[in-house]
Structure 1
């Protein structure tokens, strides 16, 4: 039996049974006791408090008489559900004494929309959602084995200790030797920081490098969460337009403190930044002293041709900051990523992180390191990439057949398709109508920075939806789109 948190004062003049009754009554009033679970028996509670069972029985008898608890034969004593409801009503009626809205800090991004995610997306028949995975593709057996092995010697201390601000040296080494070389990147251990996903890396960089009135350039359309994070520092965030070759670079980056880019697969359109523009971006940044953040969130998912080298691999000065994540392949719920940058900066970021979350969970870090070292990680990645390629090809073909407008060729990579509908299409209405038919897609207007963004774009993710549901889901989406366009034409 867990402890009840009931305490008695033997030096008090108040009878013991009255003390017990008072504490139980208070617990009922504040919702400590669950009406679905029985209260401790007189024997259990007497043993815990070192008093006679008669003392407990007297307390319970008074509570029974007043209707606060109910006795069920052969089951025990339970809180009266009506008493819990009354207690909750009393709490709601009294209300908070503090005006919390006036106490909370206001941020400059309050007017910027958020990416809304459907919490129960997996219950829909056609979840074309981005940023989630098909749980059947998760390498559960390998992951459970790694988690188990991480709790035995010689890995126990790395998994369970408080490492203060340090990262797991084994995971750092695995990233150095088995993850970064595929992107053409060399790094020393002291140039790598483990993060709870790439988003934490962005937050750490924003906190450390930015302040009020500094200018930050981001892609337009672009990653909405990055806009929120940078605006919250007080920085002036502006958009740089994107075309079929990626970021359309200005003549100069003078006066821009930081530029954030997703060059491998632009978020959300999936276009790849051309090699000529990559080199020019590095030249412009070097000339103006602009920090470049490269978010390489899904470079593993290239389905045709060879992937372009990372910006970090082309950087001769070592100043480009590189963000990687394990979320797009393994699971977004694991929240593990990494950041590569100059040693001096990584040392400061480690200190900033220490006073936020101390460090990512050691057990998760060591388990991931073991999974990479065993070869299980890359085996699972190859299988997952093959499955995603099949989905990409199927979805690309079905979009031409099912959607009632001409489609352009899709970039050969990523985890979603960026769809361009006719000018009269309102993606907000399409998303709503599609959801009514069990189809989840994502509106595209929220990724633009202009006050009146185009509304004929939307996003179809294919990481989460089972392959067997894609064809039928696209057929339903096509029906919804045709009906909507026909209504608009009247």
Structure 2
């Protein structure tokens, strides 16, 4: 691989070449068995005599850093030697803005791989049609895909925007065409774009409590004054919204993390409140593709008649998080600014992946995948419901939910266990499960995901979890 060597100055050039090559070997930039350029080639690149480079190579060889192989060239020695890591300067005098110092560590920074992973937010990668996806990616890698200018529309590939509009129109009754859709790198980037366009330092923003922590953290990082609004059995409590709130973030179709849908009366009240208070509603249609009972209520976006709702969706839960594909449906008045913000952020996303997803939707493969995955997740969900009812009915009370990849259960008033104790015991038993308190609110309970534990292993994982309740009982 190319290796940068600086020869500023005119003294002892061989020593300079020696030191920089040696440092590159010690800090790992030049790896064991990596081939160095011939002395004549490197001398030509550096503008020095061949003998100067040869002297440096000979010294490195004598010290064991390099080895010569007749007929093949000069290579970094494979012999073990003390190597040091190479890192950027610590920058002790630099500090981020105050609002960044107050934020907690990123979610997933400490994510491990337990034997039984009941955490939320991740679909089963084994259900993803990888062979089909490879075919679609291969088709997308064609010359006709490349835009003439080398760059593309910040809003995303037109074919994908049209496909998404058609898909969410049929599946969720969202009122949109291709021009209304902006393709993003997951739902989180959609929220970031909204924040960049609508939030100024001091803007009042309301989020659900309990709710999705990254949303509130994102808005706070942009300078917003974030207030948590309680959620009850009907969804976000509209009467608790503070005067002067300019943006409300909500998950009405499948409230995160409780799983309950927002009632129609509450949806109507929220829309009316937004109109009276000149506010914007960000509707995150989180995890609603997988539905096991009940017909979904109309999204806020389809009930909105005044252009107050921005609709956010993601394919992370239906396909794979690593694809980083999401979308945003916005009123016409905000689209130019959102496209501008998208261009300033990353210009545009991966056109190959976008093209593959457009074909995946157009060929009916997304709908087929969702149907197949829903059947598999239904089996896992039913096992958890049966287990809680049969083994833990005196300890946990399931919160009714008809969609998504997790269930939420509160601790019964008469229970003699602590949630933290159960979570700790489960971790020791190789079972990862999350406390409801991680997402806010005042109720104690567990959030149990089933995206990462297959039907063939879920019974053993639940049995281990059940044993943890016995071990965590307090007298």
Deviation at 1:325, TM superposition (A): 0.8
Question: Quick check: 2:155–2:183 contact (8 Å CA) kept in 1?
Answer: no
Q: 2:253 is paired with a residue of what secondary structure?
A: coil
Question: Quick check: 1:402–1:475 contact (8 Å CA) kept in 2?
Answer: no
Q: d(CA) in 2 for partners of 1:358 and 1:38?
A: 36
Q: d(CA) in 2 for partners of 1:186 and 1:280?
A: 20
Q: 2:238 is paired with a residue of what secondary structure?
A: coil
Deviates more, 1:402-411 or 1:344-353: 402-411
Q: 1:292 is paired with a residue of what secondary structure?
A: strand
Partner of 2:306: 317
Q: d(CA) in 1 for partners of 2:92 and 2:406?
A: 43
Question: Quick check: 1:108–1:234 contact (8 Å CA) kept in 2?
Answer: no
- What are the ranges of 5 or more consecutive residues in structure 2 without an aligned counterpart? none
Where does 1:272-421 land on structure 2 (aligned, <5 Å)? 272-403=261-392, 405-408=395-398, 410-421=400-411
Where does 1:34-73 land on structure 2 (aligned, <5 Å)? 34=31, 36-40=32-36, 44-47=38-41, 49=43, 57-69=54-66
Question: Quick check: 2:123–2:405 contact (8 Å CA) kept in 1?
Answer: no
Deviation at 1:284, TM superposition (A): 1.6
Partner of 1:145: 135
Distance 1:249 1:32, change over 3 A: same
Q: 2:98 is paired with a residue of what secondary structure?
A: coil
User: Of 461, 472, 475, which residue of structure 2 is paired with 1:484?
Assistant: 472
Distance 1:148 1:374, change over 3 A: same
Q: d(CA) in 2 for partners of 1:367 and 1:247?
A: 37
Cα deviation 1:357-412 (Å, max 9, x = unaligned)? 11111111111111111222221121112212222122211222233525345312
User: Of 17, 20, 24, which residue of structure 1 is paired with 2:21?
Assistant: 24
Q: 2:312 is paired with a residue of what secondary structure?
A: strand
Distance 1:38 1:213, change over 3 A: closer
Aligned length: 468
User: Of 95, 116, 120, which residue of structure 2 is paired with 1:126?
Assistant: 116
Question: Quick check: 2:166–2:177 contact (8 Å CA) kept in 1?
Answer: no
Deviation at 1:422, TM superposition (A): 4.0
Partner of 1:431: 423
Where does 1:433-452 land on structure 2 (aligned, <5 Å)? 433-448=425-440
Normalising by structure 2, we get a TM-score of: 0.88
Q: d(CA) in 1 for partners of 2:438 and 2:146?
A: 45
Cα deviation 1:291-332 (Å, max 9, x = unaligned)? 111100222111112111111111112321100111111011
Deviation at 1:182, TM superposition (A): 1.9
- What are the ranges of 5 or more consecutive residues in structure 1 without an aligned counterpart? none
Distance 1:469 1:109, change over 3 A: farther
Normalising by structure 1, we get a TM-score of: 0.86
Q: d(CA) in 2 for partners of 1:57 and 1:128?
A: 60
Q: d(CA) in 2 for partners of 1:13 and 1:115?
A: 51
User: Within the alignment, does 1:135 sit opposite 2:125 as a pair?
Assistant: yes
Distance 1:322 1:143, change over 3 A: same
Question: Quick check: 2:229–2:240 contact (8 Å CA) kept in 1?
Answer: no
Distance 1:69 1:347, change over 3 A: same
Question: Quick check: 2:258–2:399 contact (8 Å CA) kept in 1?
Answer: no
Deviates more, 1:221-230 or 1:402-411: 402-411
Cα deviation 1:154-203 (Å, max 9, x = unaligned)? 43439x93116342110111012223332112223332211111111111
Q: d(CA) in 2 for partners of 1:278 and 1:14?
A: 76
Question: Quick check: 2:204–2:246 contact (8 Å CA) kept in 1?
Answer: yes
Question: Quick check: 1:428–1:443 contact (8 Å CA) kept in 2?
Answer: yes
Partner of 1:225: 214
Q: d(CA) in 1 for partners of 2:153 and 2:266?
A: 41
Question: Quick check: 2:396–2:410 contact (8 Å CA) kept in 1?
Answer: no
Distance 1:180 1:78, change over 3 A: same
Deviation at 1:54, TM superposition (A): 7.0
Question: Quick check: 2:7–2:16 contact (8 Å CA) kept in 1?
Answer: yes
Partner of 1:261: 250
